[in-house]
């Protein structure tokens, strides 16, 4: 998976960075939100709980996807790589 940043802006009012990215996934399916969250977390050196994957969109037959990602200054997002606790 290769990620290319198309645009990045800082939203000081909401205390987050807003990133639009293009993801290349040649011989693989569209990456999951959890996989992209872990990738961005590792690349940016932030905790996964600060990375929110807003959307991942692929058009049929295309080997690239577009994604919107928010990186919050404070913990706002769930770590998607960890299973959720069951509530009854």
Q: What is the CATH number of the domain that holds 49?
A: 3.30.70.330
- What's the pLDDT at 77? 65
Nearest to 39 by CA among 16, 56, 59: 56
DSSP assignment of the chain equals: -EEEEEEEEEETTTTEEEEEEEEE-TTSPPPPHHHHHHHHHHHHT--GGGEEEEEEEE-TT-SEEEEEEEEESS--S--TTSPPPP--
User: Is the separation of the CB atoms in 51 and 71 below 8 Å?
Assistant: yes
If one compares 62 and 32, the residue with the highest pLDDT of the two is 32
81 is a domain residue: no
Counted residue by residue, the chain has a size of: 88
Q: Please give the model's pTM, rounded to 2 decimal places.
A: 0.79
Residue 86 has pLDDT above 70, yes or no: no
Range of the domain at 38: 2-72
Residue 77 lies in a domain: no
């Amino acid at each position: 998976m290769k990620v290319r940043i198309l645009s990045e802006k800082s939203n000081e009012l909401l205390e987050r960075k807003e990133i639009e990215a293009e993801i290349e996934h040649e011989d693989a399916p569209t990456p999951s939100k959890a996989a992209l969250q872990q990738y961005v977390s590792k690349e940016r050196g932030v905790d996964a709980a600060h990375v929110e994957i807003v959307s991942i969109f692929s058009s049929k037959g295309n080997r690239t996807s577009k994604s919107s990602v928010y990186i919050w200054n404070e913990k706002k997002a769930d770590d998607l790589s960890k299973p959720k606790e069951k509530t009854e």
